[in-house]
Amino acid sequence: MQTKEGSPRQLLEQRRSSLSSGRGYAGLLWLAAGIFVVILAAIIEGIVSQSTMAWGHFGLGFLWSTAWNESTNTFGAGQFIIGTLTVTGIAMLIAVPVGLATAAFLTEMCPRRIATPLGVAIDLIAAVPSIVVGLWGLYVLQPVFLRDVEPFMKKIPVIDFAFKGNAEGASYFLAGFVLSIMIVPTMVALSRTALAGVGNTDREAAFALGATPWQVIRKVVVPGANSGLLAAGTLALGRAVGETIAITLLIGNSLTLGHPFSLLNPGATLGSVIVLNFGESQPGTLLRSTLLALAVVLLAMTLIVNIGGRLIVRKNLLFRLP
Amino acid sequence: MSTDLVETPSPSGKDASYYERRALIQASARGTLKRRRTVALAIRILFGFCMVLVLVPLIFLISYVTKRGVGALSVAFFTHTPTPEGIPGGGISNAIIGSLLINGLALVIAMPIGLLIALFLIERRGPIPNAIRFGADVLSGLPSILIGLFAYAVIVTHTGHYSAYSASAALAVLMLPIMIRGDEEAMRTVPNELWEAGLALGARQSRVVRSVVVRGSIPGLVTANLLALARAVGETAPLLFTAVGSQLFSLSFNQPMNAIPIVIYQDGTTAFKDLQQDAWGAAFVLMVGVLILSIIGRLFAARLTRKSR
Amino acid sequence: MWTQPGENEMTDTTSAVAARIQQEVLAQGSGSVGLLENAPAAVALTDVAVDFGSTHAVRRVTFPLVANRVTALVGPSGCGKTTVLRAINRMHDRSGGKVTGSIRLGDLEIYGRDAQPELIRSRIGMVFQRPNPFPTMSILDNVTSGLRFNGIRNKQVLKDAAESALQSAALWDTVKDRLDQPAVRLSGGQQQRLCIARALAVEPEVLLMDEPCSALDPISTSAIEETIVELASEVTIALVTHNMFQATRCADLTAVFLLDADDHIGELVEYGSTQQIFSAPSDSRTEQYVTGQVS
């Protein structure tokens, strides 16, 4: 067999033959790939299989029922879906604008010598384990929220309808706020990448026409970074949906929806209810199966967000191509 | 202030409206300048404020955890097993050992598989590698509680008891996507000369080719694995369904085992001050450990980009 | 050497001055001094130097951009031509370059304390090496972007200005039926014309062009060179080019930049009519460059 480097075709043929002659090695790679596929399948199967009792019992109505009664064995997922959506919504509402603004500041309005270490510091927030963030939120933020912040929120004119009732400590609002702290670094880092990806020549052209830095950002940089910013938001959303333990510490353990619905109420998300109630449930019971059914709902939500987000980004990219 | 120039008559014959327009444009530019500049400055201040907002929690968090955690540290803290509340002298030695063992085993399981899969993705093209890459992305987005439940359903249910190795399995699955993506990227950024040199050595010796490339991308591989480890070490939810924690000192993988995140979670949510103290000590140790791992990982990554330039 | 237009020169003597310039351009071998006497300068650079931190990029730059003429800045790469060009519209503000010396636009000192960079840039436009239309905007939006940045909103004014600018850039006929299409669909040469139109739409007094044809094919290049020559009647043009032949084709006046042999800092070596520079240069270094001994 020739071993000289030559045309690309020769290289390709060499590579192909090299694979077949390292047959054991190639087999090993395929094995690893196969193991991976098996793991993915096992994850889905393992969770779904133990939830079948609940699905069989409740049917699809499980998804919008908000009941929870252990003695009558009636359970629903609705309150937890609402909880997850609420907490995630609060987190995104705070983290997306703040994250975008921070990213814009770092890439456009800040000399690079300062921006780089600041960016690293922000990334370090993301590295702190969520249990630590959750515990800090519990000991430091919860008292402050209870005493000052939540009563304050009730007084703000336009949004006060969402903050009815009394602050009790654990609440959707507190959990959502801490969650926003946790996903902001993701938003900042990815937005920075998106904004920095806009070519410098576009910026220069805008400046050369007499634009101010804000005009350049608004009219040239942000539109140019469109798809990257969308991807940033999607990934931040994915992280928000996937976060469990910090929320568990801060949201309380309310198994039903409070009336009236208020952000100051304690509640539960799909993740937190599983963590807090799994240990008390016995294997083989409907309760146990219900908890796993909630896990399936969480899995479905995660997949929708991740895959759907990817599709949207791809679609957005395609539309921009001439 | 004269700003007009001496103009030769324009051949295109649009003089009058031309100069009118220029005057109009300049008037508009001048007139709007103050507003535009004010807005630009206001935005700069607002966005800078946002950045400060983002950094403030980090500062508060690190300082609070340090303040409360350092006080809990002592020799006993690191060398004794937990004692019931009210009884002094307890520590988290079993949790520290537990975390080391559980994560160590997870690393040992995940590293080779991750590397092999990354090699697979590099060697092959087509729908199957793309599907696997997609699967890895999806897996990396899964909530860790689901991975814990998976380990529970597959291992704990069938063996009938909680165990440390089921925790390791869960953490290994958690680490895999980070390793796969990081390993693949590390090997892709290996300069072409290394690939070609390996090929030139003889296409038959496929193993030589691979080892040349693998060896050349070691900094990147180390980064990927360090970051995966940093992520796994801090995870709590998977542990709650697999290793569930224990008051005893144990080196057995076949039994429940304590771990640092479990201590933080369980002791931190009690009402007992001394247990809370243990939780903060553990939180401090965990935070410092994870930050160190992340920083080292980043330093390696920076070295890698500098090398490949 | 050259004069600034004072107030009393502006009115009746306009055509007289113009006629004088015309005469001198036509006169063969009139020498650099003769051409420049009493010719009005749109921009006057005096002893300009640009430093980046501790690195000196270019210095001792003193020459005018004569009104309604094309002035070429030639020289090998790295001698400071582009650096000087970018100093004129204060582009170094963003990249940390420090500019010393005097650059005057008419009566206005560009680096003076009262000078506003945004206003200066609306009076001195720039066309870049690689065509850079804004990728997310249509052709029309691209052309009117400068006007909109400067606060003009009236749709009719924008349309008229766009048409006029596209006409000047010789692109109107090509795009008049597809003004709403994305600008990136145009070919390279067309995109560069679009960038020229975009710069012209703001009615600048001066247009700085930084090797505008270097990314284009020869046919587009010669077409744009034609446009440049025609544009001179509307705006004063400064054209950076590393191609001496382009200078002879397009430019009335030429400034030659070379590296100082000792400290490798760029400087202006000679300035004069293009014809004189290339046929009878005064400085020996110019002669070496022009005859190809210096690359």
DSSP secondary structure letters along C70-136: EEEEE-STTSSHHHHHHHHTTTHHHHTEEEEEEEEETTEETTSTT--HHHHHHHEEEE-SS----TT
CA distances in angstroms from B175 to A310, B106, B111, B136, listed in the order given:
22, 8, 9, 10
Q: How far is B42 from chain C (nearest CA, A)?
A: 17
At residue A162, the pLDDT reads: 81
How many distinct structural domains can be found in chain A? 2
For C26-78, write each residue's pLDDT tens digit.
Answer: 443 333 433 455 567 788 888 888 888 888 888 888 888 888 899 999 988 88
Q: How far is B105 from chain A (nearest CA, A)?
A: 17
For B145-171, write each residue's pLDDT tens digit.
Answer: 999 999 999 999 889 889 999 999 999
Query: Is the minimum CB–CB distance between C229 and chain B shorter than 8 Å?
Result: no
Mean of pLDDT over chain A: 86
Cβ–Cβ below 8 Å for A50 and B153:
yes
Instruction: Please indicate, yes or no, whether residues A139 and A40 belong to a single structural domain of this protein.
Output: no
Question: What is the separation of C-alpha A169 from the centre of its chain, rounded to a whole number of angstroms?
Answer: 24
The radius of gyration computed from the CA coordinates of chain B, to the nearest angstrom, equals 30
B residues 4-23 closer than 8 Å to C (CB): 4-12, 14, 18, 21-22
At residue A133, the pLDDT reads: 95
Task: State how far the Cα of B99 lies from the Cα of B105, in Å rounded to an integer.
Answer: 10
What average pLDDT does the segment B195-210 reach? 65
Strand partners, C236: C206
Q: Following DSSP, what letter does each residue of C37-84 receive, concatenated?
A: TT-BEEEEEEEEEEEETTEEEEEEEEEEEETTSEEEEE-STTSSHHHH
Nearest Cβ partner for B150 among A21, A42, A217: A42
Query: Is the minimum CB–CB distance between A50 and chain B shorter than 8 Å?
Result: yes
User: Residue B207's domain is classified under what CATH number?
Assistant: 1.10.3720.10
Closest residue, chain A, to B48 (C-alpha): A105
* pLDDT score of A14 more than 60: no
* Residues in Cβ contact with C90 at an 8 Å cutoff, skipping those fewer than 6 apart: C99, C110, C111, C117, C120, C121
At residue C3, the pLDDT reads: 38
Task: State how far the Cα of A171 lies from the Cα of A252, in Å rounded to an integer.
Answer: 7
At residue B308, the pLDDT reads: 52
How many distinct structural domains can be found in chain B? 1
Q: Which residues of A touch B285 (CB under 8 A)?
A: none
Cβ–Cβ below 8 Å for C149 and A206:
yes
Question: What is the separation of C-alpha A33 from the centre of its chain, rounded to a whole number of angstroms?
Answer: 27
Nearest Cβ partner for C68 among B3, B8, B24: B8
Asked whether residue B9 is domain-assigned, the answer is no
| Domain span including residue B296 | 96-308
Asked whether residue A68 is domain-assigned, the answer is no
Nearest Cβ partner for B146 among A105, A239, A298: A298
* pLDDT score of B305 more than 70: no
At residue A286, the pLDDT reads: 87
* Residue with tokens 């690195």, as numbered in its chain: C55
Residue B165, Cβ neighbours under 10 Å: how many?
A: 23
At residue B6, the pLDDT reads: 37
A residues 94-133 closer than 8 Å to B (CB): 97-99, 101-102, 104-106, 109-110, 118, 120-122, 124-125, 127-133
Classified as helix, coil or strand, C207 is strand
Q: How far is C178 from chain B (nearest CA, A)?
A: 24
Q: Following DSSP, what letter does each residue of B89-120 receive, concatenated?
A: ----HHHHHHHHHHHHHHHHHHHHHHHHHHHH
Lowest mean pLDDT of A149-153, A208-212, B231-235, name the range.
A149-153
Task: State how far the Cα of C220 lies from the Cα of A159, in Å rounded to an integer.
Answer: 60
Closest residue, chain A, to B68 (C-alpha): A136
For A107-162, write each residue's pLDDT tens digit.
Answer: 988 888 889 899 989 988 889 999 999 999 999 999 998 888 888 888 888 887 78
At residue C77, the pLDDT reads: 84
Asked whether residue C2 is domain-assigned, the answer is no
Lowest mean pLDDT of B104-108, B177-181, C20-24, C289-293, name the range.
C20-24
* Residues in Cβ contact with A239 at an 8 Å cutoff, skipping those fewer than 6 apart: A182, A183, A186, B141
For A162-207, write each residue's pLDDT tens digit.
Answer: 888 777 888 999 999 999 999 999 999 999 999 998 888 999 999 9
Residue C170, Cβ neighbours under 10 Å: how many?
A: 17
Task: State how far the Cα of B239 lies from the Cα of B167, in Å rounded to an integer.
Answer: 6
Cβ–Cβ below 8 Å for B5 and C42:
yes
Classified as helix, coil or strand, A74 is strand
Task: Return the structure tokens found at B271.
Answer: 């009402």
| Domain span including residue A15 | 8-49
Asked whether residue B67 is domain-assigned, the answer is no
* Residues in Cβ contact with A64 at an 8 Å cutoff, skipping those fewer than 6 apart: A76, A77, A78
At residue C12, the pLDDT reads: 35
Cβ–Cβ below 8 Å for A124 and B294:
yes
Q: Are strands C55-66 and C41-52 parallel, antiparallel or unpaired?
A: antiparallel
When pLDDT is cut at 50, 70 and 90, the band that residue C14 belongs to is very low
At residue A112, the pLDDT reads: 84
H/E stretch holding B166 reads helix B164-188
Cβ–Cβ below 8 Å for C136 and A320:
yes
Contact B100, B293 (CB under 8 A): no
Instruction: Please indicate, yes or no, whether residues A39 and A82 belong to a single structural domain of this protein.
Output: no
Cβ–Cβ below 8 Å for C150 and A210:
yes
Task: State how far the Cα of A211 lies from the Cα of C126, in Å rounded to an integer.
Answer: 13
* pLDDT score of B2 more than 60: no
CA dihedral sign, ordered B22, B25, B30, B33: negative
A residues 260-289 closer than 8 Å to B (CB): 271, 274-275, 278-279, 283
Contact C162, C144 (CB under 8 A): yes
CA distances in angstroms from A124 to B99, B294, C138, listed in the order given:
22, 8, 41
At residue A104, the pLDDT reads: 94
Q: How far is B197 from chain A (nearest CA, A)?
A: 10
The radius of gyration computed from the CA coordinates of chain C, to the nearest angstrom, equals 19
Mean of pLDDT over chain B: 85
With a pLDDT cut of 70, the percent of chain A lying above it is 91
Which chains, if any, share at least 3 CB pairs under 8 A with chain C? A, B
| Domain span including residue C266 | 7-290
Task: State how far the Cα of B233 lies from the Cα of B107, in Å rounded to an integer.
Answer: 10
H/E stretch holding C267 reads strand C266-273
Nearest Cβ partner for B123 among A19, A217, A275: A19
CA distances in angstroms from A169 to A91, A259, A296, B276, listed in the order given:
18, 17, 29, 19
At residue B105, the pLDDT reads: 95
Task: State how far the Cα of C14 lies from the Cα of A317, in Å rounded to an integer.
Answer: 55
**C273: DSSP letter:** E
At residue A149, the pLDDT reads: 84
Cβ–Cβ below 8 Å for B5 and C9:
no
When pLDDT is cut at 50, 70 and 90, the band that residue A17 belongs to is low
Asked whether residue B75 is domain-assigned, the answer is no
What average pLDDT does the segment C178-196 reach? 91
* pLDDT score of B309 more than 70: no
* pLDDT score of A282 more than 90: no
Asked whether residue C128 is domain-assigned, the answer is yes
Task: State how far the Cα of A279 lies from the Cα of B5, in Å rounded to an integer.
Answer: 85
Nearest Cβ partner for A210 among C94, C119, C137: C119
Asked whether residue A62 is domain-assigned, the answer is no
When pLDDT is cut at 50, 70 and 90, the band that residue C15 belongs to is very low
Task: State how far the Cα of A263 lies from the Cα of A86, in Å rounded to an integer.
Answer: 8
Any alpha helices (H) in chain A, and if so which ranges?
Answer: 8-21, 23-49, 52-58, 78-108, 112-127, 130-136, 142-144, 150-155, 172-196, 200-208, 213-216, 222-224, 226-242, 245-251, 270-277, 286-320
| Max intra-chain CA distance, chain C | 57
At residue B282, the pLDDT reads: 94
Which chains, if any, share at least 3 CB pairs under 8 A with chain B? A, C
Q: Which residues of C touch A205 (CB under 8 A)?
A: 126, 128, 132-134, 195, 198
When pLDDT is cut at 50, 70 and 90, the band that residue B207 belongs to is low
Q: How far is A192 from chain C (nearest CA, A)?
A: 19
Residue C36: φ, ψ to 5°: -80, -15
Query: Is the minimum CB–CB distance between C138 and chain B shorter than 8 Å?
Result: no
Q: Which residues of A touch C130 (CB under 8 A)?
A: 201
What average pLDDT does the segment A28-43 reach? 90
Asked whether residue C1 is domain-assigned, the answer is no
Closest residue, chain B, to A134 (C-alpha): B265
Task: Return the structure tokens found at B292.
Answer: 């160190």
Q: How far is C158 from chain B (nearest CA, A)?
A: 10
At residue B206, the pLDDT reads: 59
Which stretch, B9-18, B211-220, C106-115, has highest mean pLDDT? C106-115
- Which of A207, A218, A226 would you mutate first to test chain C, the one with the most C CBs within 10 A? A207
Nearest Cβ partner for B146 among A109, A127, A299: A299
CA distances in angstroms from B69 to A81, B291, C99, C162, listed in the order given:
36, 15, 54, 67
Task: State how far the Cα of C30 lies from the Cα of C24, in Å rounded to an integer.
Answer: 7
Task: State how far the Cα of A249 lies from the Cα of A270, in Å rounded to an integer.
Answer: 14
At residue A7, the pLDDT reads: 65
Task: State how far the Cα of A188 lies from the Cα of A194, in Å rounded to an integer.
Answer: 10
Cβ–Cβ below 8 Å for C233 and B21:
no
* Residues in Cβ contact with B110 at an 8 Å cutoff, skipping those fewer than 6 apart: B171, B172, B173, B175, B176, B179, B228
How many distinct structural domains can be found in chain C? 1
Closest residue, chain B, to C20 (C-alpha): B8
At residue A276, the pLDDT reads: 92
For C216-265, write each residue's pLDDT tens digit.
Answer: 888 889 889 999 999 988 899 999 998 888 888 889 999 999 888 777 88
Task: State how far the Cα of C256 lies from the Cα of C162, in Å rounded to an integer.
Answer: 35
Asked whether residue B58 is domain-assigned, the answer is no
H/E stretch holding B231 reads helix B218-233
Q: How far is C188 from chain A (nearest CA, A)?
A: 14
Task: State how far the Cα of A279 lies from the Cα of A266, in Å rounded to an integer.
Answer: 21
Query: Is the minimum CB–CB distance between C67 and chain B shorter than 8 Å?
Result: yes
